[in-house]
Each structure stands twice: as C-alpha cells, then as structure tokens.
Amino acid sequence: MQHVQLERLLSEMTMDEKIGQLLQISGDFYSTTAQERTGPMSQLGLTEREIANAGSVLGVGGAAECRRIQTEYMARHRLHIPTLFMGDVIHGYRTIFPIPLGLASSWDVDAAAQMARISARESAVSGLFLTFSPMVDLVRDPRWGRVMESTGEDPRLNAEFARAMVRGYQGGDLRNDVERVAACVKHFAAYGAPVGGRDYNTVDMSERELRDMYLPGYRAAIEAGAKTVMTSFNTVNGMPASGNKHLLRDILRKEWGFDGALISDYEAVRELVTNGVAQDDEQAAKLAIEAGVDIEMMSVCYLRHLRDLVESGRVDCAIVDEAVMRVLELKNDLGLFENPLRGADEGRERSVVLSDEHRAAARDIAGECVVLLKNGAGILPLHADVPASIALAGPCATSHDLLGAWSWQGRQKETVSLAEGLLARHPHAVTVARESCDYDDPSPAAIAEAVDMARSASVVVLALGETSDMSGEAASRSDIRLPHGQIDMLRAVRAVNPNVVVVLFNGRPLDLTEVDREARAIVEAWFPGTEAGRAVADVLVGATNPSGKLTMSFPRTVGQVPVYYNSCSTGRPYEAKPREKYVSKYLDVANDPLYPFGFGLSYSTFSYGPVTVSGAEFDDRHPLRVDVSIANTSDVDGVEIAQLYVRDLVGDAVRPVKELKGFSRVRIAAGSSVTVTFSLTPDDVRYVHPDLAFTSDPGEFDIMVGPDSRHLSSPIRVVLKS
Ligand code: GLC
C-alpha cells in the first residue's frame, strides 16, 4: 500500500478499531476450543469483537494455526486489516542455537547473523512475522537470570552482535523476502542493571552512564534497521520505561529518529499502576500513550480508557492516530495488506524446520561458543585409545535440558545429550553413569557410582550446571555457585581421581572458585541448544579446537558483583599500590574476577609478538594502525580472537582503565603466524561527557593488545591530536 492509502484506511477506522490496533493478545484468545478461550477472555474481559479488532498476536507458532487465525479474523474485521504474529525467537525457532551469552562467546558476528537468518526462515515458514529479538541489555550482574539472553558487558560487542542479528532476521527486503522476520530490539532500556541483580527491580544511574554504556546496543540495532523496539519492565531514573517520555520521545524518537512501532513488555503498561506512577489504568494509558508506547502487550489500559481520554480531550486524538499509523506502517512494511499470510507455508515448514542443514549449522556454531576455561596437564582433548577409559557422570550427563530458558518452540526430545554425543564419538571408550542424578542434591547412590567409576577410569567427565529454569526471566540467584550437591560430587570424585574434566551447562557466569580448585579442566558450554551433545563432544575429543572467549566476567565470589573489565579508575587504585591499606580493595578477596572478559583457552598455543603502531599520533585524517604478529606455536590448527584495548588517560569524566576497541577472529595454522591489524580513529574513542556530548578529546591514550582483557601487551602511549 502507498502511504496515502494507509492514511485513507486510518480515516475510515472507528476509534474502537484504532484502539484495537494498539492491543496485542496471546494466541489463547484465538483458540478453536471454547474452554481455552473463556479463561483468558474473562481474565482480560475481552469480547469477541475486541478480539477481532486486536492488531497483533503474541506467541503463536505453526503455519496452519497462523493461516487459520489470519484468514478467520481478517474476515471478521470490518476493514479486513490483517493481524501481526509476533513471538520470542531468541536464539532459534525449533533448531535452537546457544543462548546469546554463549553465542557471543564465539565473537563471531557472522555466526550470529547466520543464527538469526536460520531462525527467521524457520519462524517465517511457521507463520511468524516478527521476533522479540535481539535482546541487547548490557549486563554486569550474574545474579540476574536474564544475562543468558544478553551478549555481555561490553557496549561495542553488544552493538556488533545487535547489528548482525538484525541483519540476519530482516535481510534487505523485508516486504518481499517472506522468509525473513522483523526484529524487535529489547528491553529499552537498561533492563540489565537492576539493583541487587533482582529481576524487574529498580534501575537508577546517571544519564551519562546510561548513554555511555547501556544505550549503544539498542542504538546499533535501530541504526541497523530494527523495525520495532520493546520497552522494559524496569524504571529508568525514577520512571518506568513504558511511561518514560524522556527515554522514549526525547531520546529514542527525537534524538535517534526512530519512527517504528514501540511495543510494551508484557502488561508493562498496566504495571505503571503497581510501580506507583499511575493512580489507575486510565492514568497508565495516558502516561504510556503520551510517552510514545504504540502497542500494549497483554493488558487493556488502552482498550478500556483511551476512547474516554480522547473524547474528554485529555489525550490528543493525533497521538492515538500517530500510534495506529505506526502499526499500519509496520504491517505495510511486511507486505501484509497484499500478502497477509507472508511465509506461512506448511510444506516449507516440514522441509525447513529442524532440517539437517540447520542442525549442522547449530552444531558448528555451538562448537564455536564453548569456552575452555582450564586445561591442566593438557588433559583435553580426550584420547579414546583405552577402552572404558572415560567415565561420564553428573546431573547434566544424560540431560536434554540444554536449550536454555528462552527456547519456546525448541524440544528437549530433539536435543542431543552429552552422553549421546560422546558415545557417538567413542562408543567403546565412554562409560555413562546409570544412576539418576538430581541437579540440586545428587543422591548418595549417584555419588557412589561416580566415585566407583572414577576409580578405574583414566579421565572422569563430570557434566554439571544449572537447569534451564535457574536462569532466564524471574530467575535471579543470590548465590551463583553450583548447587552444593554437585560440588560434593566433584570433591568425592576428585578424591579418587585427579583427572576430572568439568563440563558446565549454565545460563550465567558462576562462582567457579571451588570448581577451579578441584577440576583439572573446565569447559564452559552454556546452554548449547539442539545439537548440544554433539558440539560439546566434538570439543572434548578434539574434533573442534575450542576458540570461545567470555563476554561477561566470572567473579571469584558473588561478593565482588558487579565486577567487569571496563571499570573506571579510582582515586586510590589498588593496582598502583597493592601493599597499601588505603586503596580500593577487599580484605578477603582480590579485585579481579576469576575468569576475565575476553578469556578462553585453545588446544593450540598462541604467542603474541611485539605490538607496533603506525605513529605516535593519530587524528581524523590519520587513523592509528596497530599491528601484532601472532604465532601458533602448537601442532594444532586453531582460531585466536585477538583483542585491542585502549585507555583514555585523562577525560572530562573518569574513564575505564581499558576499553575493547577492536577484535579479530583469525585462523592460524599449526606452526605458522599471522599479522593482525587494527585501526583506531578519533571516532573510536568518543565517550559521553558530563554535558552529554558524545565526542572524543585530544590527549594521551594507551594502546594494548592481547588474548583477553587481563593478559595484555605493555601499553604503547599515543596522542590523539585535536
Ligand atoms: C516477557 C519478556 C519479553 C518477552 C515478552 C513476550 O515477559 O520480558 O522479553 O519478549 O514477555 O513473551
């Protein structure tokens, strides 16, 4: 449709039909069976007419069902306006990829784009038009369960992954490429910084910090063309995001020029009342529509009160028209007026969803996301030359709960366990514990069996971790260690066999201090997705040489939280005077994390040569070139992720002691070396000043390169010329 036709359509709509477009309700309301509908309908008090008028549907997947709903309800709509199917395809639709915190550990943005491309294809043929992804909330607190959905603690890396995922979901021609879906960047904004790491809790920080650290990821997604944005549950500096005019109108729309549709999170408009900033649902509707929220997800403040607010003159009708037009434009951008079923195709669904090709991609990508945290005595990769030499035990050994908390259409029965993966690789060398093993409290029998197996095995692989519901939404933990029973099992096995390899399946950085003490090797596998067992077995047996690196710090203890690599200097830096009393430190634990941002080992060994720079100065016309030669001194081909860090020595605000300003994922053949080149421009070192200007300052900078944020070259001092 041309815009003028949309304008005409808008002019023909009644107020009820306009407000209907601003309502999103779940698939229950469209069920073919009455009893499935009556509960939700009475809960929200919806009539059949109101359901027929609703502008979009939450959480329906399946070509047949989406086709049925679209066909039936377009016919019921007086103006035959198509609905819009939206859902949570966070890291895969039915073929599930690693959770985003794992995906980011690959540092492979092309892999993220490929994951999004495959997710889009599977979603689109299954009837979805839009996914509530990418989630780009910057995170620094592993107590918060939703760190599993994020790409970590660095704004630059978050931005790169956000752009890649939007590219993968939307492609270049969303209207005509019906096997793509619209992206929805979330949760706007700063949902990842709740006080105490407790989900939905208060977020309060300076606007300078918000803009410098937390907003870049969302902005990158929008600049990449994300069609929609979702507001977050949390308050931002005293006002919940869904009523926060400064955040939504001043920053998102005016400053960034975002003119797409803005959807609230689930009931977040109505929660303006429970947050205590709206007297009642009517005031919540007024706050949200004036702040710029277009679609109200699963609450009915708009439905029940917008008409009166407009008719009484308390809300300008133009604001409602503006919101409705954005919804119509979104539908038009998806081509729904000409093709309301888009890619929904049962035949394609059968051939595309969970195809071998997609499984193979999931396996490859999951292998890239595994982070080797420790490999004492080179115990890995496993050598399967001795029959029954590998004992596999632990609660995750045979578990299929490896998809993570946001795997919606993913199915555990289609997921490969570690036992299945390892036995497929080495059927004669691997013995799997038979006792069922509880995650929280492995039974004495399970522990006894593991110990007994360990007595005769050359290596014990202990598969430990969290259940998927121990992270994700509403799953914050105050204690981020493994469940105590698992540590007991580790200690008992270690007592009879020092060759213990711990494989972790988890959704957050854990306190691994005890595990690091007991285990000879530690493999961080995250929740790897449908191909989990094969991908992790590939790494354990050496078919995949691990290359993953952390994008979120692993603390030594929860008492250090928040601990992150890009922290600012203080007036009394511990590092400068470690023996002094009056410096910034703890009495009982070191300042730095157990495993730092950017850290990960390989079966190869890489040696960094001297770092060279193109000159002592740089400016707009003369970017700084930074070169480093990296040698693979092992006999195993490998991939290294070299990282460039920069320190701005003097700023108009305190500056981080180091900031990631470049990374390069390079394949280096055994025994050879490559030269990695980075480029640094004044734009790369811009930051938000106290007056909120986003600019760079002339002055001195330290340049450092290395395999992670801890092991860096000696700083090279350069000057940014004005
Ligand atoms: C939620 C989540 C959000 C999700 C939405 C729809 O509560 O916060 O990330 O997209 O509901 O399922």
**pLDDT value, residue 36:** 82
> What is the phi/psi pair of residue 382, to 5°?
-70, 135
713 CB-contact burial (10 Å; exposed 0-12 / middle 13-18 / buried 19+): middle
Please name the residue ranges forming H helices in 77-144.
Answer: 100-103, 109-125
Nearest CA to ligand 1 atom 8: 265
Choosing from 108, 154, 265, 708, the catalytic residue is: 265
Question: pLDDT tens digits, residue range 137-172?
Answer: 999 999 999 999 999 999 999 999 999 999 999 999
**pLDDT value, residue 34:** 79
**Percent of the chain predicted with pLDDT > 90:** 96
**pLDDT value, residue 38:** 81
What stretch of H or E contains 272?
A: helix 271-274
Q: At what angle do helices 155-170 and 109-125 cross, to 10 degrees?
A: 40
- For residue 39, pLDDT over 90 is answered with no
Instruction: Please identify, in words, the CATH class of the domain defined by 356-560.
Output: alpha beta
Return the sign of the alpha-carbon dihedral for residues 441, 442, 448, 452.
Answer: negative
238 phi-psi bin (left φ>0, alpha ψ -120 to 50, beta other): left
- For residue 685, pLDDT over 80 is answered with yes
Q: Tokens for 100?
A: 């985003």
Ligand 1 pocket residue status of 188, Cβ below 6 Å: no
> What is the phi/psi pair of residue 582, to 5°?
-90, 65
Nearest CA to ligand 1 atom 7: 266
Ligand 1 pocket residue status of 186, Cβ below 6 Å: yes
Nearest CA to ligand 1 atom 1: 266
- On average, the pLDDT of the chain sits at 97
Q: pTM of the predicted model, to two decimals?
A: 0.97
CA dist 516 and 526 (Å) reads 17
Q: Tokens for 359?
A: 């499984």
**pLDDT value, residue 383:** 80
What are the domain boundaries of the chain? 356-560, 606-720
- For residue 385, pLDDT over 80 is answered with no
**pLDDT value, residue 42:** 82
Q: Average the pLDDT over 628-651 and give the result.
A: 98
Question: pLDDT tens digits, residue range 444-499?
Answer: 999 999 999 999 999 999 999 999 999 999 999 999 999 999 999 999 999 999 99
**pLDDT value, residue 308:** 98
Kindly give the number of the ligand 1 atom that is closest to the alpha carbon of 135.
Answer: 9
CA dist 265 and 268 (Å) reads 5
**pLDDT value, residue 388:** 66
Q: Average the pLDDT over 68-79 and give the result.
A: 97
CA dist 129 and 123 (Å) reads 8
| CATH hierarchy code of domain 606-720 | 2.60.40.10
> What is the phi/psi pair of residue 535, to 5°?
-65, -45
Question: pLDDT tens digits, residue range 361-371?
Answer: 999 999 999 99
Q: Average the pLDDT over 363-381 and give the result.
A: 97
Determine the 3-state secondary structure of 479 from DSSP: coil
**pLDDT value, residue 718:** 98
Kindly give the number of the ligand 1 atom that is closest to the alpha carbon of 187.
Answer: 9
- For residue 71, pLDDT over 90 is answered with yes
CA dist 43 and 199 (Å) reads 25
Determine the 3-state secondary structure of 441 from DSSP: coil
**Percent of the chain predicted with pLDDT > 70:** 99
Ligand 1 pocket residue status of 267, Cβ below 6 Å: no
CA dist 637 and 346 (Å) reads 43
Ligand 1 pocket residue status of 132, Cβ below 6 Å: yes
- Rounded to the nearest angstrom, the distance between the alpha carbon of 233 and the centre of ligand 1 is 9
Q: What is the DSSP-derived secondary structure letter of residue 414?
A: G
Kindly give the number of the ligand 1 atom that is closest to the alpha carbon of 132.
Answer: 10
80 phi-psi bin (left φ>0, alpha ψ -120 to 50, beta other): left
- Rounded to the nearest angstrom, the distance between the alpha carbon of 136 and the centre of ligand 1 is 13
At 139, which amino acid appears?
A: V
CA dist 501 and 463 (Å) reads 8
Kindly give the number of the ligand 1 atom that is closest to the alpha carbon of 186.
Answer: 9
Ligand 1 pocket residue status of 265, Cβ below 6 Å: yes
**pLDDT value, residue 717:** 98
**Contacts for 357 with CB less than 8 Å, ≥ 6 apart:** none
**pLDDT value, residue 40:** 82
Ligand 1 pocket residue status of 408, Cβ below 6 Å: no
Do the beta carbons of residue 348 and residue 505 sit within 8 Å? no
Do the beta carbons of residue 126 and residue 89 sit within 8 Å? no
- For residue 387, pLDDT over 90 is answered with no
Do the beta carbons of residue 652 and residue 689 sit within 8 Å? yes
Kindly give the number of the ligand 1 atom that is closest to the alpha carbon of 184.
Answer: 10
What stretch of H or E contains 465?
A: strand 459-465
What stretch of H or E contains 488?
A: helix 484-496
- Rounded to the nearest angstrom, the distance between the alpha carbon of 183 and the centre of ligand 1 is 14
CA dist 235 and 242 (Å) reads 8
- Rounded to the nearest angstrom, the distance between the alpha carbon of 267 and the centre of ligand 1 is 10
Q: Tokens for 224?
A: 């990449």
- The verdict on whether 265 is a catalytic residue reads yes
Ligand 1 pocket residue status of 473, Cβ below 6 Å: yes
